[in-house]
Amino acid sequence: MIENKKDFAIGFLLCLSLSLTGFGIALNAYRNPQYSITKDNVYIIAETQSGKGVFASHNVITNIGENRTRYFHSANTTSENGVIWISIGNASASSSLTQLTSQYGSRFLGDITNWENGGDYAYNITATHQFTETQCVNAAGAHWSNTGDGNLYAVANFAGGAVTFNSGDNITITWVFTFDCN
């Protein structure tokens, strides 16, 4: 039972407003599917003699900031913890993985190529492996360590599903990382 009609009306209008705002955002995303909705990630509290204000804003990562991010990831030494190691094996790609479910052999140290991709800083890791036995694999991983669990930066499943390699077959993996931090 509604005790206070004024509180009900305010609540109803607030819910309606939020619903319409959500609809507008969804409609805008539908009209412009190539654009993502930017979320605020900088919060500023200004306290002055005239009062307190809270402001939220999206930041812009500078070009040298993107380049520094690329540098940390593509550093060609293990002491920098660069994402420069590639594994192959089996897994279902998921953001919760910390390593491949099963890994075939040792991880490969990739060859690094730094470059610019449409004005953003990028690098590639490329590694080729020749199989010495028959093996069926469906995934590759990019790591910041050559061994162990808890260092899987990214994982990808093979687009066509698992592939069976025989002794003497090769696999070449090129991982492209582009740092568009904005």
pLDDT tens, residue by residue, 150-177: 988 899 999 989 999 999 999 999 999 8
- Looking at residue 76, what is its pLDDT? 57
Q: Is the pLDDT of residue 25 over 60?
A: no
Q: Residue 157 pairs with which residues in a beta bridge? A: 139
Q: Is the pLDDT of residue 134 over 90?
A: yes
Summary mean pLDDT of the chain: 76
Domain range summary for the chain, segments of one domain joined by +: 5-57, 63-179
Query: What is the full DSSP assignment across 122-174?
Result: EEEEEEEEE-SS-EEE-EEEEESSSSSSS-EEEEEE-TT--EEE-TT-EEEEE
Residue 149, φ and ψ in degrees, nearest 5: -100, 160
Tell if the pTM clears 0.85, that is, is over it: no
Amino acid identity, residue 167? S
**What gap in Å lies between CA 90 and CA 165, rounded to an integer?**
13
**Interval 110-134 mean pLDDT:** 91
**What gap in Å lies between CA 87 and CA 152, rounded to an integer?**
9
**Interval 22-41 mean pLDDT:** 43
Residue 60, φ and ψ in degrees, nearest 5: -120, 120
pLDDT tens, residue by residue, 38-64: 566 667 677 778 887 776 766 666 677
